[in-house]
């Protein structure tokens, strides 16, 4: 137990001192997740709206596929993306392997189904009077989509935070696609895995505490958004 306590104390000291290596790992993680969320929201919101709003043949099957992708293992995603962006893959010429951009592709595939599924559900369960009112006022196309999504902004934000929580804590695809390269593609989760294997519990614990802090902040934000959503529903 002594080495655990000592590692925890050293980890706390590392957090407050925030040495260059720890800071680089945290910044790399934030850069990666920020780039991933940009792609996830840019694709997930319009695709989720179309899936929830439009009626077309095969919609039920497509919804089953999206729901299935919610539980897709991260190592499987890493394996598939690796096959496409490695030197011998169809996108090997773009040199995406072992880069932040390549890692972001894996996280995009991981978090995209969450936003699509949540958004589709929100649109399907939205008040039908809103749809009729917007159509009566002549709203169509992107204006109809933007207005509908804005009315459900709190639920959409919950979807975004849930997706972020999923990608920030994953390690499988990040390790395969990024290579865990120091000062370049090493993230919080891959660094924890590496340093723990090396016996460096201090840095592992420090990064673990930071990751827990991020998760705690996400949960607090989700609780706040849920209360806002419930209050808005009560007032309406």
Residue 170: burial class (beta carbons within 10 Å; 0-12, 13-18, 19+) = buried
- The answer to the question of residue 135 being in a domain is yes
User: Would you give the DSSP letter of residue 69?
Assistant: H
Range of the domain at 40: 24-190
- The answer to the question of residue 124 being in a domain is yes
- The answer to the question of residue 149 being in a domain is yes
- The answer to the question of residue 37 being in a domain is yes
Domain of 84, CATH number, reads 1.10.3720.10
DSSP readout, 32-100?
A: HHHHHHHHHHHHHHHHHHHHHH---TTHHHHHHHHHHHTT--HHHHHHHHHHHHSTTSTTGGG--TTSH
- The answer to the question of residue 227 being in a domain is no
- The answer to the question of residue 5 being in a domain is no
pLDDT of residue 232: 64
Sequential pLDDT tens for the chain (236 residues)? 566 676 677 767 777 777 788 889 989 999 999 999 999 999 999 999 999 888 889 888 999 999 999 888 899 999 999 999 998 999 989 999 999 999 999 999 999 999 999 999 988 887 666 566 655 656 566 777 777 777 778 888 888 988 998 999 888 899 999 999 989 999 999 998 888 887 777 778 888 888 888 888 888 887 887 777 666 656 55
- The answer to the question of residue 49 being in a domain is yes
- The answer to the question of residue 202 being in a domain is no
Is the CB of residue 34 less than 8 Å from the CB of residue 105? no
Q: How many domains does the chain have?
A: 1
Q: Kindly report whether the global pTM for this prediction surpasses the value 0.95.
A: no
């Amino acid at each position: 137990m002594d080495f655990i306590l000592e590692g925890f104390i050293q980890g706390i000291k590392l957090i407050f001192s925030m040495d260059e290596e720890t800071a680089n790992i945290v910044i790399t993680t934030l850069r990666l997740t920020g780039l991933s969320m940009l792609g996830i929201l840019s694709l997930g919101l319009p695709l989720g709206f179309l899936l929830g709003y439009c009626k077309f043949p095969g919609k039920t099957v497509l919804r089953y596929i999206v729901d299935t992708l919610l539980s897709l293992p991260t190592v499987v995603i890493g394996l598939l993306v690796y096959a496409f962006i490695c030197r011998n893959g169809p996108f090997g010429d773009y040199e995406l392997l072992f880069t932040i951009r390549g890692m972001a592709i894996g996280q995009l595939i991981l978090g995209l189904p969450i936003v699509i599924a949540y958004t589709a559900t929100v649109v399907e369960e939205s008040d039908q009077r809103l749809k009729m009112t917007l159509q009566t006022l002549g709203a169509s196309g992107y204006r109809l989509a933007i207005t509908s999504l804005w009315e459900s902004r709190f639920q959409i934000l919950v979807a975004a935070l849930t997706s972020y929580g999923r990608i920030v804590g994953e390690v499988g695809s990040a390790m395969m696609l990024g290579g865990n390269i120091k000062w370049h593609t090493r993230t919080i989760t891959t660094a924890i895995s590496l340093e723990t294997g090396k016996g460096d519990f201090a840095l592992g614990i420090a990064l673990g505490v930071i990751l827990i802090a991020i998760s705690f902040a996400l949960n607090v934000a989700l609780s706040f958004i849920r209360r806002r959503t419930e209050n808005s529903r009560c007032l309406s």
